[in-house]
Amino acid sequence: MLDTASPRSLSLVNANTGEALSVTYWSNGSYQRAALDKLNHFLRDWRENEQTEMDPLLFDVLWHTMNTVGFSGTVEVLSAFRSPNTNAWLASVSRGVASDSQHINGNAMDVVFPGVSAYQIRQAARSLNMGGVGFYPRSGFVHLDTGPVRYW
């Protein structure tokens, strides 16, 4: 059963910029605007320095995935929001990037939980039935999004 009452905090590090953020984004039964603003900035497209309003449900997907595998450390974020320009460039140089990526919509992130296998993260995320889960075992990361439930 999902915990819907406890405060929800995330500790993140951006694998590309080295920036770190620890924030409680949910408490007293609601999302905390100041924390969401910090997350929006932290998860910006670092190549273009553009940010968007991230889907707060994405943070819940991440938080519940962490709880399911028993991970309480710092999550490495490889990618979150991508501007259309950045996404088009990535799609042109990498086979695994969708031209209509959920990253453009601000509702996806690619993550690593240090010390936890990508397989375990994938299984935990899939058990939630809360969105898309992409499994990249060679690269060692998992894609989480709040789009339709689907797996690859």
**Domain assignment present for 3:** no
Element (H, E) at 92: helix 84-93
**Domain assignment present for 35:** yes
Q: Tell me the CATH number at 92.
A: 3.30.1380.10
Looking at residues 62-69, what average pLDDT do you find? 97
**Domain assignment present for 32:** yes
- Into how many domains does the chain fold? 1
93-118: pLDDT as tens digits: 887 788 888 999 999 999 999 999 99
- Determine what percent of the chain falls in helix, strand and coil, rounding each to the nearest 5: 30, 25, 40
Whether 125 has a pLDDT exceeding 90, the answer reads yes
